[in-house]
Structure 1
Amino acid sequence: MQKIIPSNKVRIIVDNRERHIADYFSEFDVDLVFQQLKIGDFICSDRVCIERKTISDFLQSITDQRIFNQVSEIVKNYERPLLILEGNLEELFSIRNIHENAIRSVLAAIAIDFKLPILWTFDEHDTAAQIYRIAHREQIKEKREPQIRVKKKCISFAKQQEFLVSGLPNISNKLSIRLLKKFKTPKKVFSASESALQKVKGIGKEKAKRIWEILNKEYEAE
């Protein structure tokens, strides 16, 4: 654990890969301390660490399945972790060839299974303003200091796949394992026919129909 020397000025530990966002903090009374972080992108206190992702970053992390490893690590190591999703939400279902319900399943797993709060921001300026307010609250009001914490092992690749599939309606972790054993990959589970799904123990006609409808019915905004 590494501790930053206390100061009356707000300090935020920032991952080296986020240097490009530094200019957006210029209007705030803040010191940015750049370091190579193993977990998260911004550390605001001993308990608050923030993972920042643009919409494009988020979708890419679903594709390469990094998202659950990152989420697991930040949740294990910080008491009050946060995920910031930055950008136009209309692009969430349009800029990548990822099924809408796969995206919804990931968001549901993050919020429910990992209990990780998600904050939405419009752009880099909005993100910087939000991070500054969080850091100011933690350090000035709560008298907490930024600290780097790294202590626990990351979630396994298999668990990441199970979390993804268990986001489908009425699919428990046990059923997600059966589906993955049958179809081998989450992608093949999502593209399976109703009849193929019914061949898996515990997936009856109604459940298979519901899964197929969720994955294939055209989205209609409410």
Structure 2
Amino acid sequence: MGEGKVTVIVDRRESGSNVLRWLRELVNVEMRSLDAGDYVVSARIGIERKSVDDFLQSIVDRRLIRQMRELSELYERPVLILEGRDLFSRRLIHPNAIRGALASLIADMGVSVVSTEDEEDSARLIAALARREQVEERREVAFRAKPRRPEVHELQRFVVEGLPGVSCVLAGRLLKRFGTVEGIVLASEKELMEVPGIGRKKARAIREVLSSPYAPEQDG
């Protein structure tokens, strides 16, 4: 059974791992689909776990840097658990390439690289980190998601709402009337005034912004 309030968030892709089996004996487990990493023990610590073989292969196919960059962008303290022995004795990749990859993770991304013996050892380390963060440091456990990329229509509204006197409602009317942001830019003052809510003064102000030469020194 899990210990008290200590919880580890585990990515669903780890469901077949023996680490998960061991974790269930040590802490409370919450399964989620994570955008980066395999385990989360607090709002600031995200963990990626790799066996030695997977670590070496991820250097070859270039997954490693991408995965760890994503983890470091979401969590203040990214951690890489390197599970297993004989890292430098495998023939898959030259030892200097391994050292270079580790140096990049540590120096460029601030990743803490920790070596463990096996899956049980990894689980016990993850549980210890969770207890440290949640019990001793009283930090909440929460996973972070990648920022959602705005949809095109949202970006179009954002651009049009930047015009003088244009509310979100007026932005919608303008886009419906002219079809595109470009259509609004090319519209005449008279055409703009055909949109409900836009009088001569507002249409003139919009045209002034859209047609005036860029002169930042005049802005103050």
Fold shared by both chains (TM-score > 0.5)? yes
Partner of 1:27: 25
Partner of 2:133: 138
- Relative contact order higher in (CA < 8 Å, ≥ 6 apart): 1
Contiguous gaps of at least 5 residues in structure 1: 1-6, 154-222
**Root-mean-square deviation (CA), in Å?**
1.8
Cα 1:60–1:152 change in 2 (3 A) is: farther
What whole-Å deviation, never above 9, does each CA across 1:125-159 have from its counterpart, x for those lacking one? 10000000000111111111211112369xxxxxx
> Is the 8 Å Cα contact of residues 51 and 82 (structure 1) preserved in structure 2?
yes
The SS at the match of 2:68 is helix
Contiguous gaps of at least 5 residues in structure 2: 149-220
TM-score normalised to structure 1 length:
0.61
d(CA) in 1 for partners of 2:147, 2:111: 17
d(CA) in 2 for partners of 1:82, 1:27: 22
Partner of 2:48: 51
d(CA) in 1 for partners of 2:139, 2:108: 28
User: 1:63-82 maps to which residues of 2 (within 5 A)?
Assistant: 63-82=60-79
> Is the 8 Å Cα contact of residues 38 and 46 (structure 2) preserved in structure 1?
yes
TM-score normalised to structure 2 length:
0.62
Deviation at 1:100, TM superposition (A): 1.3
Partner of 1:202: none
Runs of 4+ in 1 over 6 A off after TM superposition: none
Cα 1:133–1:63 change in 2 (3 A) is: same
2:10 is aligned with what amino acid? V
The SS at the match of 1:9 is coil
Computing the radius of gyration from Cα coordinates, the structure with the larger value is 2
Deviation at 1:26, TM superposition (A): 4.0
Deviation at 1:24, TM superposition (A): 1.3
Deviation at 1:25, TM superposition (A): 2.0
Picking from 35, 39, 42, the partner of 2:36 is: 39
> Is the 8 Å Cα contact of residues 73 and 152 (structure 1) preserved in structure 2?
no
